[in-house]
Amino acid sequence: MSSTVASTGTRHGTLGTSASRPDGVAKVQGGFAFSSDMWADNMLWGATLRSPHPYARIISIDVSGAYAIDGVTTVITAADVPGKLTYGLIMQDQPVFAAIGDTVRYSGEPVAAVAADHPETCQRALAAIKVVYEVLTPVTDPEDCISGIAEQIHPDGNIFRHQRIISGDTSVVGAIQVEGMYEIGMQDQAFLGLESALAVPDSGGNGLEIYVATQWLHEDRKQIADCLNIPEENIRLVLGGVGGAFGAREDISLQVHTALLAMKSGRPVRISYGREESFYGHVHRHPAKIWMKHHADSNGKIVKIESRMVFDGGAYCSTSPAVLVNGITHTQGPYKCDNAVVDGWAVRTNNPPCGAMRGFGVVQACFAHESQMEKLAVAAGLSPVEIRLLNAMETGDRMITGQIMDSVAPVAQCIRETDAIPMPPPMTQNADLRTIPGGTGLTALPSNIKRGVGWGVSIKNLMYSEGFDDYSTARCRINEGVVTIKFATSEVGQGFTMLAQQIARTVLGVDDVFLDTIDTQVGSAGSTSASRQTWMSGGAVQAACRAALEKLFDHIAIKNSLSRDGLEIEGTDIVDRLTGQRIAVTAAIKGVDIDCTEEYHHPATEDMDENGQGNCHVAYAFVAHRAVVDVDLELGLVKVVQIATAQDVGRVLNPLAAMGQLEGGIAQGLGLAVMEEIIVKDGKVRNPSFTDYLLPTFLDAPTVEMVFIEEHEPKSPLGAKGIGEPPCISVTPAIANAIRQAVGRELPRVPIRPYDICL
C-alpha cells in the first residue's frame, strides 16, 4: 500500500500525525465495553417477538402463555406504550409495536417484547405468546405503488417522496445517446457489533439511563422520550461502545423496547440481538432501479442526462425522502452537465424497511452514472479515462440543481493520480492458488482466467441537506491542570475520539487530553453519518478549544502583564511574540477553571423546489477508483486483484486512520459489487445469516494503492473533507466495469452473480 502523505514532523498526537486511539488498548485487550458487554445488578434479559408475515392484520395477541413460564417478569405490547405510538426520523410512521386491529407491514416487525431471567427463558416466553394473524398479500413491486394499483398499505400512503429535477434546456438531444436500466440489490450494513441496549430505570420511576450503541444520541433520546411520555431531561443516554454502524444505527431499533421493559419491570433490562434478528432489526440500503440516458456531442461531451430512479423504501419511511434526494441530485456524477430531466421516487412496500447506509442514495446513482460512462466511452471512441477527463467537473460549475459547485473539486486530478498508479503484475502460470478466482476451491487454473480493468469516479455530498441544520456541540474544560473534552459525537470505530484529542492537542498545546463520557449531558453532535463528523464535530471541538484558549490567554496576559494580542501557541508553549516570553502550557493551565461549550453550524442550505432547483447541499468530496479484476469466464467466479484510488480528502488529519477508512469503504463497495445482497422474495428475507449474506473475507480483499489529494477545503474548519463514504461509492461500478471488460456483457445489476457472467 502506498500513500503520498509523508510525516510532517509535527508533534505526535497532533493534527496530521497518526495519533493513537484512546480506546485502542482496551480494544486489543478485550476490555473495551461494547454495548453488548454491559451488565447491571438485578438485570433482566429482554427479547422481541416479530411478525413472520410481511403483511398481515393482527386479530389477537395472547400473552398469558409467556407469563405462565417461570422466570418471565414482563410482557409488553402496543397497549403498554404510554406516549407516542410511532417514531421515525422524518415521518413518525413506524409503530413501537404493531397493534391489534392494525397491520404488520414487514416480515420482522415487532409485535411484543418480554423480560426474563435468562435469554433462553426469553426465547421460551416468545414461543408461548400466541398471535393470530390474518395474512394479507404483500405489496412488493414499487411500480405498483407508483402507478397506484397497489393498495395503500399505510394511512400515510405508499409514496414517501416524488421529486423531479428539471434543469436547463430539456429539448437538447445528443449526437451520441447511451442508455441502460440498472439495478442495485439490497445491501446490509452488517456491522459486527450486534445491537444491544441496557436500560436502567430511576428508583423514582420517572426516568432512566440507557446505554446503547447508536449514531445520534439526542435523536434517539427524543424518540424514546416521546414514546415513553417522559421529559427528555429525565433520560440520560450514554453511548455504549459501538461495533460499527454504517448507517444501520441511525434509526431506532431496540431503544424504546428496552426502555419500556425497564420502566414496566422496574429493573435494568438488556436486549441483545443475535445476527438473524439484527438482519430484521435495522434498516438496509435501498434497492433501486435506475433508468439513465446520457446525451453527448460527437466528441463525447455530455449535453443532457435523463433518468428515472425508483428506490424501494420498504415498510416505513426512515430516511427514504433524503436518500432519494441524494440519489437524484447526484445523477450527473462528477461531470459537467447543463441539462437534465430526472424523475425520482421513494416508495413504501411490504419489503424490509430501508434507510441510511454509507453512501446514502449516491451509491445507487453512481452505479448508474459510471456504468453509463463506460457505454459513453465506447460510443465516443474514447478510453474510460479520456471520457471522464473530458467531462470532469470543476469548482465553479453549475450543477443540475442550479447550485454552483463551490467546494474544491479536483476531479481531473483524482483521475490522473489514479491512472498513474502502477497496474499490478499479470497473473503468472504458477500463481498461488489463493490469488486465483475460486481460491482454495481449486476451481480454476491461471489458463482459465481473464483480467479486466474498470473505472469509477464519484461525487458525494457532505453533511445534511435541504435546509437541515445538523449542527454539533463540544465542551472544553480546563480545570486543575487537566484538559477535558466532552461531546455527544458517536464514535463508531471511525476514530473521532482520536481526532478530538488531536484537535485539542494542536489548539491548546497540551499532550494529555481527557475525554468525558459520550452522553446527552452536552448538546447534540448530530449523527455520525453523511461523512460529517470530522467537519462538524471537529469544528465544534476546535471552536470549544479555541474559546477555552482565548480565556486562557486572557488569564495569562493579566497574570504575567503581557499584551493579549501577542500571545500564541507554539508547540507545547504559550509564546508572547512581543517579549519572547515563553510559558509551558502545562504550567499555564494550573489554577484556571475554564469551561467553554460551543456549537458549530455549517452554512445554511435550501429546500429544493418542484423542479429540484435549490442550494440543497453543503459541500462535496470526490474520488476516483480503478479496479483490476480476474474473472473465470466459464464459472463466473471473480477475484478483485487491485483497487487504485485517489481521493479528495482536503487534508489528511491522521494518515493511518485515513488509510483505514479508504480500505474499509473499498471492501464494502466490493461486497456490493460481487457478493452482498439481502434476498427478498414475496417480502420475506431468504438469507438472514452470515452463511448466506456474504461479507468479503481476508482472501477476498484486494491490494489497495491509494493517493490522498490534499487541496485544503477553505470552508471546512480543519481544511479536511469527510472521507468515510466516498471510498465505497465508485468502487462498485469500477469493479463492475472491470468485469464487463473481461466478460463482454452489459451486467446491469449488482451484485454480479456467477450465473450473470457465464450463463
Partner 1 sequence: MSINIPVSGAAQSHEIYSLRVNGQLHEVKDAWIGESLLYVLRERLGLPGAKGACEQGECGSCTVILDSKAVCSCLVMAADAVETEILTVEGLGPNGALTDVQSAFLSEGGVQCGFCTPGFIVAVHHLLENNPQPTDDEIREALSGNICRCTGYGRILEAVRTVADQRRKNS
Partner 2 sequence: MPVLIPRNVDELVEVFQANPQAKLLAGGTDYMVEVNLHGRKPETMISLRQVKELTEWSIRSTQSQITIGAGLPYADMEHGEIARVVPALAQAARTVGSPQIRAAGTLGGNLGTCSPAGDSLPVLAALGATIHVIGPDGNRDIDFVDFMVGVKKNSLLPSEFVHSVSLPIIEGWQGYAKVGTRNAMVISTASACLVRDIDEGIVTIALGSVGPTIIRAYSAESWLMKSTSLRSGAPLDPSVAQEFGRRVAQESRPIDDHRSTAEYRRHAVGVLAQRLLTRSFS
Contact positions toward partner 2, by CB under 8 A?
123, 127, 274, 276, 434, 437-445, 448, 634-637, 639, 674-675, 679, 681, 686-687, 689, 691-692, 694, 696-700, 753-755, 758-759
User: Smallest distance from the beta carbon of 68 to partner 2, in angstroms?
Assistant: 18
* Smaller CB separation from partner 1, 245 or 757: 245
User: Smallest distance from the beta carbon of 447 to partner 2, in angstroms?
Assistant: 10
CA-nearest of 463, 68, 48, 92 to 269 is 48
* Smaller CB separation from partner 1, 133 or 693: 693
Is the CB of residue 139 less than 8 Å from the CB of residue 157?
no
| Residue 759 interaction partner, one of partner 2, partner 1, none, beta carbon < 5-8 Å per kind | partner 2
| Residue 32 interaction partner, one of partner 2, partner 1, none, beta carbon < 5-8 Å per kind | partner 1
Q: Which three cell numbers stand for residue 385?
A: 479515462
| Residue 634 interaction partner, one of partner 1, partner 2, none, beta carbon < 5-8 Å per kind | partner 2
| Residue 749 interaction partner, one of partner 1, partner 2, none, beta carbon < 5-8 Å per kind | none
| Residue 443 interaction partner, one of partner 1, partner 2, none, beta carbon < 5-8 Å per kind | partner 2
Cis, peptide link before residue 119, omega less than 30° from 0: no
Q: Which three cell numbers stand for residue 121?
A: 427463558
| Residue 446 interaction partner, one of partner 2, partner 1, none, beta carbon < 5-8 Å per kind | none
Is the CB of residue 695 less than 8 Å from the CB of residue 720?
no
User: Smallest distance from the beta carbon of 37 to partner 1, in angstroms?
Assistant: 4
Q: What is the DSSP letter of 3?
A: -
| Residue 193 interaction partner, one of partner 1, partner 2, none, beta carbon < 5-8 Å per kind | partner 1
User: Smallest distance from the beta carbon of 374 to partner 2, in angstroms?
Assistant: 24
User: Can you tell me the distance from the alpha carbon of 62 to that of 48, in angstroms, rounded to the nearest whole number?
Assistant: 15
* Smaller CB separation from partner 2, 313 or 636: 636
Count Cβ atoms below 10 Å from residue 600 Cβ, excluding itself: 21
Q: What is the DSSP letter of 540?
A: H
In terms of C-beta density within 10 A (0-12 exposed, 13-18 middle, 19 or more buried), how is residue 373 classed? buried
DSSP β-ladder status, 159-167 and 176-184: unpaired
In terms of C-beta density within 10 A (0-12 exposed, 13-18 middle, 19 or more buried), how is residue 618 classed? buried
CA 747 to chain CA centroid, Å, is 26
* Smaller CB separation from partner 2, 126 or 245: 126
* Smaller CB separation from partner 1, 21 or 740: 21
User: Smallest distance from the beta carbon of 294 to partner 1, in angstroms?
Assistant: 32
User: Smallest distance from the beta carbon of 438 to partner 2, in angstroms?
Assistant: 7
* Smaller CB separation from partner 2, 439 or 481: 439
User: Smallest distance from the beta carbon of 131 to partner 2, in angstroms?
Assistant: 17
| Residue 266 interaction partner, one of partner 1, partner 2, none, beta carbon < 5-8 Å per kind | none
> What is the amino acid identity at position 629?
V
DSSP β-ladder status, 288-296 and 269-272: unpaired
User: Smallest distance from the beta carbon of 636 to partner 2, in angstroms?
Assistant: 8
For the chain, the straight-line distance linking the first and the last C-alpha, in angstroms and rounded, comes to: 36
Is the CB of residue 349 less than 8 Å from the CB of residue 153?
yes
User: Can you tell me the distance from the alpha carbon of 597 to that of 581, in angstroms, rounded to the nearest whole number?
Assistant: 30
User: Smallest distance from the beta carbon of 451 to partner 1, in angstroms?
Assistant: 19
Is the CB of residue 614 less than 8 Å from the CB of residue 608?
yes
Count Cβ atoms below 10 Å from residue 94 Cβ, excluding itself: 25
| Residue 71 interaction partner, one of partner 2, partner 1, none, beta carbon < 5-8 Å per kind | partner 1
| Residue 674 interaction partner, one of partner 1, partner 2, none, beta carbon < 5-8 Å per kind | partner 2
* Smaller CB separation from partner 2, 561 or 691: 691
* Smaller CB separation from partner 2, 523 or 702: 702
* Smaller CB separation from partner 2, 103 or 140: 140
Is the CB of residue 482 less than 8 Å from the CB of residue 473?
no
Q: What are phi and psi of 123, to 5 degrees?
A: -65, -40
User: Smallest distance from the beta carbon of 488 to partner 2, in angstroms?
Assistant: 35
* Smaller CB separation from partner 1, 558 or 690: 690
Is the CB of residue 711 less than 8 Å from the CB of residue 408?
yes
| Residue 34 interaction partner, one of partner 2, partner 1, none, beta carbon < 5-8 Å per kind | partner 1
Count Cβ atoms below 10 Å from residue 40 Cβ, excluding itself: 16
Is the CB of residue 183 less than 8 Å from the CB of residue 365?
no
> What is the amino acid identity at position 136?
L
Q: Residue 241's beta-bridge partner residues? A: 34
User: Smallest distance from the beta carbon of 496 to partner 1, in angstroms?
Assistant: 11
* Smaller CB separation from partner 2, 62 or 276: 276
Count Cβ atoms below 10 Å from residue 580 Cβ, excluding itself: 8
Q: What is the sign of the dihedral through the CA atoms of 698, 273, 285 and 312? A: positive
Is the CB of residue 618 less than 8 Å from the CB of residue 603?
yes
Q: Which value, to the nearest 10 degrees, does the dihedral of the CA atoms of residues 370, 310, 529, 628 take? A: -20
| Residue 665 interaction partner, one of partner 2, partner 1, none, beta carbon < 5-8 Å per kind | partner 1
User: Smallest distance from the beta carbon of 121 to partner 1, in angstroms?
Assistant: 5
H runs (alpha helix) in 91-165: 119-128, 142-147
* Smaller CB separation from partner 1, 28 or 135: 28
- Reduce the DSSP state of residue 411 to 3 states and report it: helix
**Torsional class of 314: left (φ above 0), alpha (ψ -120 to 50), beta (otherwise):** left
| Residue 437 interaction partner, one of partner 1, partner 2, none, beta carbon < 5-8 Å per kind | partner 2
User: Smallest distance from the beta carbon of 753 to partner 1, in angstroms?
Assistant: 20
Q: Which three cell numbers stand for residue 512?
A: 494529555
| Residue 118 interaction partner, one of partner 1, partner 2, none, beta carbon < 5-8 Å per kind | partner 1
Q: What are phi and psi of 162, to 5 degrees?
A: -125, 120
User: Smallest distance from the beta carbon of 157 to partner 1, in angstroms?
Assistant: 36
| Residue 550 interaction partner, one of partner 2, partner 1, none, beta carbon < 5-8 Å per kind | none
CA-nearest of 650, 647, 635, 625 to 712 is 650
Q: Which value, to the nearest 10 degrees, does the dihedral of the CA atoms of residues 147, 153, 157, 160 take? A: -80
> What is the amino acid identity at position 492?
V
| Residue 754 interaction partner, one of partner 2, partner 1, none, beta carbon < 5-8 Å per kind | partner 2
* Smaller CB separation from partner 1, 1 or 173: 1
| Residue 27 interaction partner, one of partner 2, partner 1, none, beta carbon < 5-8 Å per kind | partner 1
* Smaller CB separation from partner 2, 6 or 759: 759
Count Cβ atoms below 10 Å from residue 34 Cβ, excluding itself: 16
* Smaller CB separation from partner 2, 4 or 697: 697
* Smaller CB separation from partner 2, 5 or 695: 695
- Reduce the DSSP state of residue 205 to 3 states and report it: coil
User: Smallest distance from the beta carbon of 192 to partner 1, in angstroms?
Assistant: 4
User: Can you tell me the distance from the alpha carbon of 92 to that of 539, in angstroms, rounded to the nearest whole number?
Assistant: 31
User: Smallest distance from the beta carbon of 670 to partner 1, in angstroms?
Assistant: 8
User: Smallest distance from the beta carbon of 64 to partner 2, in angstroms?
Assistant: 21
* Smaller CB separation from partner 2, 63 or 637: 637
